[in-house]
A and B are shown apart, each in its own frame.
Chain A
Amino acid sequence: MNKASKLLTLVLLSSCLVTVTGCNNASMDKTNIVFRKKNIVLDNFEGLGVEWGTYEDPDKLSSDSWERSLKIMDRLNPQVTRCMLNYDWFITDFDDKNDDDKENDTWNYNFSNKLMNNTIDVLRYCDDHNIDVAFGCWNVPGNVANDEYNMMEEVTSDIRWAKMTADVLEYLINKQGIRCIKYFVNSNEPNYTGEKGRSKNYNNTFEVWAKGVKNVRKALDERGFTNIGIIGGDTTGFDGTDEYFTGISKSKEIRESVGDYGFHVYCPNMIIDSGDLAVRIKNMYNKIKKNDKELGVSRMPHIWEAGLYDGKNTATDSNVLIANFSYGLRMADYTLQCAIAGVSSIVYWDFDDGMHFMYNLDGTMTSKGWGMFSSLGSDSALKQKLRPWYHSSVLLTNLMRKGSQILDSGLNDPSIDENFRSMGVIGPDQEYAGVVAINRDYKPVTKTFRVPEQFNDSNKIYVYIYNDAELKLGEDGFVKENMVLDGSLHDQIEIEVPGDTMVILSSKEL
């Protein structure tokens, strides 16, 4: 008997053998979990993905590293991504005409540089792999110390921002033929303001940002880019997001100018561990829905940066726990909680340490450690290795495909069980089904699962176990199933889920 089967026992039971175990609530069976369509929380999930922005120093990326990165991306197989850049990289010949009139300012672009080349490489990959992209610019251009374009006072409401945005998109779409851009990010985390002289965002407010959204919407529409939505918020944290979402939802003009309700969550461990993340998101959405019934209907809720707060080292902008197994388990739990709360797509932060850098006072730069690996040859071998959370993300990304239905167990409320969560997934066009079970307790728990709804059954169950003892990698270094069983998720499957473990059962190989 191998190690895995000691920890995990699977027993296929016919439904007639099921004994309903007793529980406090007569109508609630916490052991035998059935995923039914009446518990669908998302009927048309939009997929999972990862931030894959322009590499700030493409020279550091060797062709071998790039090829390796693409293989890693292939296996992750995301369906949505966020790609950010800076307009400063391309603006040339800026002329403010020596007056206060911003309308008459002129400038040119030099798109023939390595940063744009890298951006196009990323976007072409997305085109080729049918990945939806939220494309955007981090901040208004200019150096924070001298604000040479005089844009930081008005931030994204500066009329030139809208023009620059339309120009860059026109270049990418009309000149380069890029098709994957579905959203525009009207600056990163606009609610994260900071102080003058240190932050380009110091003067931002919701009203300023909203004015920018209207300007950009108009500029995009005038260029014929009506199908590109503007991210509604891209804010960070619950408080700041609540302010922006409320502002968006209350104004007809603004809510009709945005394409979604999108925000960032760097979640404290305690909130994930207790199951409270789902509760918080649901509460926020319920509040916003009172103003905007289209939330979750035509304006979908998205998370555009997903990560964990604990372990963040501000000085290096890295997460010290990024290589721990627990990071992957918590991000899986995060994903599950968001999905059952109705979040329609999630973009993890981020793909590769090699994309972003901290620029130190002594002139050196160090990579920011939030990735699934590092493509930098200069980083240690340990950093270049695929981190555990890459593997847990691969499983979820390949299970929760665009067009999937997400089924709640009805038992995920932390008041029912703080430590155990599960969801069912029925793939697009009912091609497959899967179950994600996450046990956050130290002790193992035994549960049964069944997906009685219609799907194309392979009569095989691929079993994946994510914990530090059982994760199985193939010779290629990528995650593979721990076992394949003959059977069906239509039947009742009994599982002992070890402590601090995610188990995925899937009728298709992930």
Chain B
Amino acid sequence: MKNFKLLGLGLVALASIGTLTGCGSSEYDSKGRLILNLKNVYFEQWTGEDRYTEILNDKFGVKIKASGYDYNEWDGMVYTAVNGDNLPDAFHFNLKAYNYGSTYESWVKKQMLKPLPKDLSRWKNLSKMLSNVSNVEELKKIDGNLYCIPIMNDINNVKKDFSNFTYVYRRDLVKAIDEKNKNKAGYEPLYREGDVYTWDEFERMVDALSKNPIDTQKAVIADQGWAFPSITNFYKDAPHCFGKDENGKAINNFTSANYIEGLERSKYYVDKLYYSPDQFNYTPEDNRANESYLGGQSVILYDNFSLSNYSKFRKAFKKNQETVDLDDGTAFLKIKDKDGKFALEGTENWFSATFFSYATSDQKMEKILDIIDYLLSEEGTRFAVYGEEGYDYNIVDGEIVLSSRGWERSIDTGEYPPKTMGGKYLRYMATLGNDTQSYDPFTNLDDYSILTSWMNEMKKAKEDGLLRVVQEPTDISWMSTPTKNDKTNSLLNDANVSAAKYCFGKSSMDKYLNELDTNNWKTVLAEINEKLGK
């Protein structure tokens, strides 16, 4: 810690000398504008060279230099930059409750981060957004400062606390089985109106899909590598490592009775070949389950269906399965557990966060906050979504009218081509932009409508007490203990591997339980329970 602090002071001192001797010009571009170096996973190949960024540069007297992280190397790239003391002015990190201690808390203690100003009243839109961030107090508990901008999923829908990790299925195939059997005496149709199935109905449908395979089919269900075995979602009490027993004591979620019951059921699915043997080799980074569904090798898919993922998925499905009705082939499957409730993994209302390097000057940070605040305003949001008023769009009788010049469709595809809009990229530093999807010209309204309808149905179910949101207890999630900080990630990965090995018959239940009773597990649970006072 001390070394980092000294290093930090040393760098600040050097930078000051540079300025005094006139060498600090790298802070400014040739037009005298303050250079802002920003890095974010959503920037991808955007470098800040577009016309819209220029407009923002001129408006705020800055020169934005943007770069992106590769998604699969994102964490590692940030760790490397932190360890090498080579951080840009603002950077993006996938902050989660389980890595809070090893990253956020550790970086704050090492003085690698610059806190947001205590008084955010100057940035009203940002301030309002931050007031709605779930568990924001957990991020302030070190010293009262907030050291990042959590990136809100949807600033207009802050209460949504469940994820979009769920199933889609080939409704067309279920209906086809019904059609084939409709004249059989006593045949009970598989398909359920609205795609809502009880647990027993679901299991019957899975079995029928297994017994009536299409030519390409190798299995019924495919889970993305990070999600196997998704069947446990209908049994388990916590999404990841830690749950609590009836006395409030922290326990290993993976050895809880409910999880084990779900695991046994998952093994049954594997044994019945509802899952393909290939499933065992899927990794958290690959997309093989998705590809298997698109290729017709599986007919139920568990994945993360954010709008962008769902749109991409539907587009690919249309291309791969030309003869299948798109809506039937990509329908959301809504399954109720044995208690008659839907079950979805819980989530914060934000995903990842924007951080500021300790070396970022007050002036730079204020400029970045100015830009973010503007992009969260009504005018700034229009700029981010539509572009420049007068060129890309006009407001006529209070309505947005897109110009054919700014929004020209391809004569080949009839679609709007990709449009590099700096405002939209920069807005990702504060929100994923789900608030603008309903009117974003790039949104496929069919996809949006289906997904929104599913989300509204789940929201309603939650209001009616029919949705079980599987959450980790908050006091454990955001707790920091030495072993938890250091080991949670590997414990989680190892547990998932052990679960998969058990399901695919590569280990016994005894062995599974042994693997989840290591010293690390014992230590971490002891540390947590000590903090919980249990």
Binding site for B on A (CB under 8 A): 237, 239, 242, 268-271, 273-274, 309-314, 319-321, 323-326, 382
Given contacts A239-B49, A309-B420, contact A324 B411 (CB under 8 A): yes
Q: Quick one: given A269-B405, A270-B51, A273-B391, are A311 and B417 in contact (CB under 8 Å)? A: yes
Contact, CB under 8 Å: A320 / B51: no
Contact assessment for A323 and B410 in the assembled complex, using a CB-CB cutoff below 8 Å: yes
**In the bound complex, what is the Cα–Cα distance between A25 and B279 (angstroms)?**
76
Residue B408, interface by CB 8 Å:
yes
B413 at the interface (CB under 8 A from A): yes
Enumerate chain A residues within 8 angstroms of B418, measured Cβ to Cβ: 311-314, 320
Kindly state the separation between the CA atoms of A439 and B152 in the bound complex, as whole angstroms: 45
Query: What CA separation (Å) do A313 and B417 show in the bound complex?
Result: 7
Cross-interface CB contact of B410 among A237, A242, A311, cutoff 8 Å: A311
A326 partner residues in chain B, CB cutoff 8 A: 408
A320 and B391 form a contact (CB under 8 A):
no
Q: A311-B410, A314-B45, A382-B412 are in contact. Are A319 and B417 (CB under 8 A)?
A: yes
A239 and B29 CA atoms in complex are apart in Å by 10
Q: Which residues of A contact B51 (CB under 8 A)?
A: 268, 270-271
Q: Give Cα A309–Cα B53 distance, bound, in whole angstroms.
A: 14
In the complex, the chain A residue whose C-beta lies closest to that of B46 is A314
A325 to B45, CA, bound (A): 28
Contacts of B420 in A (CB 8 A): 309-310, 312
Among residues of A, the one whose C-beta sits closest to the C-beta of B410 is A320
State whether the Cβ of B474 lies closer than 8 Å to any Cβ in chain A.
no
CA distance A274 to B415 in the complex (A): 24
Q: Is A320 in contact with B413, judged by CB distance below 8 angstroms? A: yes
List of B residues within 8 angstroms of A313 by Cβ: 417-418
Chain A residues near B408: list those with CB within 8 A: 311, 321, 324, 326
The listed residue (A237, A273, A312, A319) touching B405 by CB distance below 8 A is A273
Q: Is the CB of B391 within 8 A of A270?
A: yes
A268, A271, A274, A312 interface centre (most CB from chain B within 10 Å)? A268
Q: What are some 26 contacts across the A-B interface (CB < 8 A)?
A: A237-B49, A239-B29, A268-B50, A269-B406, A271-B51, A273-B391, A273-B405, A274-B391, A309-B50, A310-B417, A310-B420, A311-B417, A311-B418, A312-B417, A313-B417, A314-B44, A314-B45, A319-B417, A320-B415, A321-B408, A321-B410, A323-B410, A323-B412, A324-B410, A324-B411, A382-B412
- Taken together as a complex, chains A and B put the C-alpha atoms of A274 and B391 apart, in Å, by 9
A494–B45 CA distance with the chains assembled, in angstroms: 48
Range of interface residues on B (Cβ < 8 Å): 20 to 34
| Smallest beta-carbon distance B231→chain A, Å | 31
Q: With both chains docked as a complex, state the minimum distance between the C-beta of A199 and any C-beta of chain B, in angstroms.
A: 11
**B30 interface residue (CB < 8 Å to A):** yes
Considering the chains assembled together, what is the distance between the CA atoms of A311 and B411 in angstroms? 12
In chain B between 365 and 421, which residues have their CB closer than 8 angstroms to a CB of chain A? Answer: 388, 391, 405-406, 408, 410-413, 415, 417-420
The distance in angstroms between the C-alpha atoms of A271 and B50, with both chains bound, is: 10
Nearest CB to that of B44 among chain A residues?
A: A314
Which of B30, B45, B391 meets A242, CB within 8 Å?
A: B30
Nearest 7 CB-CB pairs, A to B?
A320-B417, A268-B51, A311-B417, A320-B410, A324-B411, A270-B51, A323-B411
- Within the complex, the shortest CB–CB distance from A249 to chain B, in Å, comes to 14
List residues of B (401-444) whose CB comes within 8 Å of A's CBs: 405-406, 408, 410-413, 415, 417-420
Q: Which residue of B lies closest to A273 (CB)?
A: B405
- Within the complex, what minimum Cβ distance (angstroms) separates B59 from chain A? 15
- A323: B residues at CB distance < 8 A: 410-412
CA gap between A269 and B392 in the complex, in Å: 11
Q: Which residues of B contact A314 (CB under 8 A)?
A: 44-45, 418
**Distance between Cα atoms of A382 and B412 in the complex (Å):** 8
- What CA separation (Å) do A309 and B411 show in the bound complex? 17
Distance between A15 CB and nearest chain B CB, rounded to angstroms: 37
Chain A min CB distance to B404 (Å):
9
CB distance from A145 to the nearest CB of B (A): 14
What residues of chain B lie closer than 8 Å to A309, measured between beta carbons? 50, 420
Shortest Cβ distance from B405 into A: residue = A273
Nearest chain A residue, comparing its CB with the CB of B417:
A320
Question: What is the distance, in angstroms, from B34's C-beta to the closest C-beta of chain A?
Answer: 15
**CA of A312 to CA of B30 in the docked complex: distance in angstroms?**
28
Residues of A within 8 Å of B411, CB to CB, are 321, 323-325
| Bound Cα distance A239, B420 (Å) | 17
Partner of B417, one of A237, A239, A274, A321: A321
A369 vs B214: C-alpha distance when bound (angstroms): 37
B266 to chain A, nearest CB (A): 31
- With both beta carbons as reference points, the residue of chain A lying nearest to B65 in the complex is identified as A239
CB proximity of B419 to chain A, nearest CB, Å: 7
Q: In the bound complex, what is the Cα–Cα distance between A325 and B410 (angstroms)?
A: 10
User: What residue of chain B has the Cβ atom nearest to residue A468's Cβ?
Assistant: B411
For B418, the closest partner residue in chain A by CB is A313
Please, which residues of chain B bring their CB within 8 A of the CB of A270? 51, 388, 391, 406
Distance (whole angstroms) from the CB of B189 to the closest CB of chain A: 40
Task: Give the residues in chain A near B29, CB-CB below 8 Å.
Answer: 239
Distance between Cα atoms of A242 and B29 in the complex (Å): 11
Complex interface: chain A residues within 8 A of B417 (CB): 310-313, 319-321
Nearest opposing residue in chain A for B67, CB measure: A195
Distance in angstroms from A468 CB to nearest chain B CB is 9
B287 to chain A, nearest CB (A): 11
Chain B residue at minimum C-beta to C-beta distance from A266: B49
Q: How far is the CB of A8 from chain B (nearest CB, A)?
A: 22
- Report how far A311 CA is from B391 CA in the complex, Å: 16
- Residues on A with beta carbons closer than 8 Å to the beta carbon of B410: 311, 320-321, 323-324
Contacts A270-B388, A310-B420 supplied; 18 other A-B pairs, CB < 8 Å = A237-B49, A239-B29, A239-B49, A268-B51, A269-B405, A269-B406, A309-B50, A310-B417, A311-B410, A313-B417, A314-B418, A319-B417, A320-B417, A320-B418, A321-B408, A321-B411, A321-B417, A382-B412
A312 to B50, CA, bound (A): 12
User: CA separation between A212 and B338, bound complex, in Å?
Assistant: 72
Distance, CA A268 to CA B55, complexed state (A) = 13
Given A269-B405, A270-B391, A271-B51; A310-B419 close (CB under 8 Å): yes
Shortest CB-to-CB span from A264 to chain B, Å, is 12
Residue from the list B44, B45, B405, B412 in contact with A320, Cβ < 8 A: B412
Contacts of B405 in A (CB 8 A): 269, 273
A198 nearest in chain B by CB position: B70
Query: How far is it, in angstroms, between the C-alpha of A215 and the C-alpha of B417 when the chains are bound?
Result: 43
Contact residues in A for B415 (Cβ distance below 8 Å): 320
Complex Cα distance, B45 from A273, in Å, reads: 25
State the Cβ distance, A201 to closest chain B Cβ, in Å: 14
Complex contacts, A237 vs chain B, CB 8 Å = 49
Q: Chain B residues near A242 (CB, 8 Å)?
A: 30
A268 partner residues in chain B, CB cutoff 8 A: 50-51
Report the minimal beta-carbon distance from B135 to chain A, rounded to whole angstroms: 34
Q: Which residue of B lies closest to A270 (CB)?
A: B51
Q: Which residue of A lies closest to B413 (CB)?
A: A320
A310 to B408: give the CA distance in the assembly, Å.
10
For B391, the chain A residues whose CB sits under 8 A away are 270, 273-274
**C-alpha spacing A273/B404, complex, angstroms:** 12
Bound-state CA distance A488–B383 (Å) is 49
The docked-state distance in angstroms from the alpha carbon of A312 to that of B420 is 8
A321 to B410, CA, bound (A): 5
Nearest CB of B to A439, in Å: 13
As a 0/1 sequence over residues 32 to 56 of chain B, the CB contacts with chain A under 8 angstroms (1 = contact) are 0000000000001100011100000
A-side contacts of B412, CB under 8 Å = 320, 323, 382
Closest residue of chain B to A287, judged by CB?
B30
Q: In this complex, which of B44, B405, B411 has the most chain A Cβ atoms within 10 angstroms of its Cβ?
A: B411
For the complex formed, measure the closest distance between the CB of A360 and the CB atoms of chain B, giving whole angstroms.
Answer: 14
Chain B residues closer than 8 Å to A274, beta-carbon distance: 391
Interfacial chain A residues near B406, Cβ < 8 Å:
269-270
B-side contacts of A312, CB under 8 Å: 417-418, 420
Q: How far is the CB of A285 from chain B (nearest CB, A)?
A: 15
Distance (Å) between the CB of B31 and the closest chain A CB? 10
